[in-house]
Amino acid sequence: MKSAVRTLGGVLRSRVTGKPVPIAMTMALTYRCNLRCRYCQIWKEAGDELSTRQVLGAIDELHEAGMCRLGLTGGEPLLRPDLGQIVAHARGLGLFTTVFTNGALVPEQLDTMRRLDAVLLSLDGPREVHDAVRGKGAFDAALRAMELLCREGVPVWTNTVLTTHNVEHVGFVLDLARRHGALAAFQPVFEHSYSVKGERVEELRAAEERYAAVVDRLLALKRSGAPLLNSVPFFEYIRTPRWEQNPRRCLAGQRYGAVSPTGRVAPCPILLQAAGLPDGRRIGYAEAFRRSARHIRCAGCYCIATVESDLLFSLDPRTVLNTAGHLVRQLARRRRAPAPPPALDHCMASVALGREPCAADERADAIEAGASGS
CA distance 263 to 281: 6
Residues with Cβ < 8 Å from 243, sequence gap 6 or more? 299, 300
Position 374 scores a pLDDT of 31
Position 273 scores a pLDDT of 84
Q: How far is CA 15 from CA 131, 312, 317, in A?
A: 44, 13, 16
Dihedrals phi, psi of 99, to nearest 5 degrees: -130, 135
Mean pLDDT over residues 56-76, rounded? Answer: 96
CA distance 162 to 154: 25
Strand partners for 99: 72, 119
CA distance 211 to 162: 8
| Residue of higher predicted confidence among 338 and 261 | 261
User: Binning pLDDT at 50, 70 and 90, where does residue 368 land?
Assistant: very low
350 in helix, strand or coil? Answer: helix
pLDDT tens-digit readout, 197-245: 554 667 777 788 999 999 999 999 999 999 999 999 999 999 887 777 7
Q: Is the peptide bond before 171 cis (omega within 30 degrees of 0)?
A: no
Position 191 scores a pLDDT of 62
The per-residue pLDDT of the chain, averaged, comes to 85
Provide the residue range defining the domain that includes 364: 343-374
- Cα 355–chain centre separation: 29
Q: Do 356 and 268 fall into the same domain? A: no
Q: Do 367 and 323 fall into the same domain? A: no
Q: Do 34 and 163 fall into the same domain? A: yes
- Cα 221–chain centre separation: 20
Position 194 scores a pLDDT of 54
| Residue of higher predicted confidence among 265 and 192 | 265
Position 335 scores a pLDDT of 67
Closest by CA position to 304, among listed 370, 218, 373, 366:
218
Q: Do 268 and 371 fall into the same domain? A: no
Q: Do 157 and 245 fall into the same domain? A: yes
Q: Do 207 and 260 fall into the same domain? A: yes
User: Binning pLDDT at 50, 70 and 90, where does residue 302 land?
Assistant: confident
Q: Do 249 and 365 fall into the same domain? A: no
Q: Do 260 and 356 fall into the same domain? A: no
Q: Do 352 and 301 fall into the same domain? A: no
Contacts of 13-20 with C-beta under 8 Å, sequence gap 24+, read 13/66, 14/254, 14/255, 14/313, 19/290, 20/253, 20/254, 20/255, 20/289, 20/290, 20/293
User: How many domains does one find in the chain?
Assistant: 2
Q: Do 371 and 228 fall into the same domain? A: no
Q: Is 234 exposed, middle or buried (0-12, 13-18, 19+ CB in 10 A)?
A: buried
Q: Do 349 and 282 fall into the same domain? A: no
pLDDT tens-digit readout, 310-328: 999 999 999 999 999 998 8
Q: Do 348 and 237 fall into the same domain? A: no
Position 192 scores a pLDDT of 55
pLDDT tens-digit readout, 337-354: 454 444 333 333 333 344
Report yes or no: 212 and 202 within 8 Å, Cβ to Cβ. Answer: no
Give the CATH number for residue 256.
3.20.20.70
Q: Of the segments 6-10, 143-147, 302-306, which one has the largest average pLDDT value?
A: 143-147
Q: Is 257 exposed, middle or buried (0-12, 13-18, 19+ CB in 10 A)?
A: buried
Q: What percent of the chain has pLDDT over 90?
A: 63
Report yes or no: 27 and 58 within 8 Å, Cβ to Cβ. Answer: yes
Q: Is 255 exposed, middle or buried (0-12, 13-18, 19+ CB in 10 A)?
A: buried
Closest by CA position to 306, among listed 29, 75, 99, 25:
25
pTM of the model: 0.84
Closest by CA position to 147, among listed 353, 356, 340:
340
Position 328 scores a pLDDT of 84
